[in-house]
Amino acid sequence: MIKIVIIDDLPIVLEGIRVLLNQIKDFNVIAEFNSAQLFLENIETLDVDIILTDIDMPVMDGITLTKIISTKYPTQKIVALSMYSDSKYYYEMITAGAKGFVLKQSSVNELEQAIREVYVGGNYFSNDLLHNVILSMQKIESRIVSEKIVLLKLNEREINFLKLVCQGLSNKEIAGKLFLSIKSVESIKTKILEKTGAKNNAGLIIWAIKNKIVEI
């Protein structure tokens, strides 16, 4: 059973998400809070697997809340909920420590997928959010930070692969760009996943932004 807490300042949103998630047989919404402060007052009494939090809340927003949780309770897994697809919000949530990002306009199936992915240790971008991340990255010149390259011993092919992943290219498209076979590209990806600890492309993008390998 995946135990979930929901934090949102709008009662109708809290109720709606709770009803939807409790219809999934192995999901259990164990608590709901209408403010970040109230949740923090009760966090140590809760046995929770996934924290779903709104970003735009009065007094204390989801970004501040995520920073506090990531510092004091680093094993907690946070999925951000937002009405907005502005890159500023999810960039700040990435650096704060969130593992997943879902727009409130998304389907319950996508929210379920995000919860399951983060629950097993992965990362999840809502499709629209990922699209906007890619567009943002394509509009700016990627900057490689030499210290990180040295630390992780990233070679030129791995650096180029990472930059292309952050542009949203598939393995087949990357193979064409780098003039490599798909098998070689898959081998490069496996090595980078091992070096970064990421589990998938979304995780690589989050890692690259958080570690300033690329910047938006």
Give residue limits of the domains in the chain: 2-132, 140-210
pLDDT band, very low/low/confident/very high, at 184 (cuts 50, 70, 90): very high
> Which residue, 81, 109, 141, is CA-closest to 24?
109
Which residue type is seen at 14? L
Q: pLDDT band at residue 205, thresholds of 50, 70 and 90?
A: confident
Cα dihedral 122→185→127→7 (10° resolution): 20
Amino acid at 212: K
Check pLDDT > 80 for residue 79: yes
The arithmetic mean of pLDDT across residues 57-75, rounded, is 93
CATH 3.40.50.11540, domain 140-210, yes or no: no
- Nearest CA to 56 among 32, 88, 30? 88
Across 60-78, average pLDDT = 94
Nearest to 124 by CA among 133, 116, 136, 135: 116
- CATH number for the domain running over 2-132: 3.40.50.2300
Instruction: Determine the distance from the C-alpha atom of residue 113 to the mean position of all C-alpha atoms in its chain, rounded to a whole number.
Output: 12
Residue pair 122/193 in contact by the 8 Å Cβ criterion: no
- The arithmetic mean of pLDDT across residues 33-51, rounded, is 96
Fold: same for 2-132 and 140-210: no
Q: Is residue 29 within a helix (H) or strand (E), and if so which, with residue range? A: strand 27-33
Closest CA to 83 of 60, 59, 62: 62
Joined tokens for residue 202: 């979304």
Q: What percent of the chain has pLDDT over 70?
A: 83
At residue 114, the pLDDT reads: 93
- Model confidence at 65: pLDDT above 60: yes
- What are the φ and ψ backbone dihedral angles of 30, each rounded to 5 degrees? -90, -20
Cα radius of gyration (the chain): 18
The overall average pLDDT reported for the chain is 84
Closest residue by Cα to residue 78 from 118, 109, 36: 118
43 near 51, Cβ under 8 Å? no
**CB < 8 Å & 24+ apart, contacts of 9-12:** 9/34, 9/35, 9/54, 9/57, 9/58, 10/34, 10/54
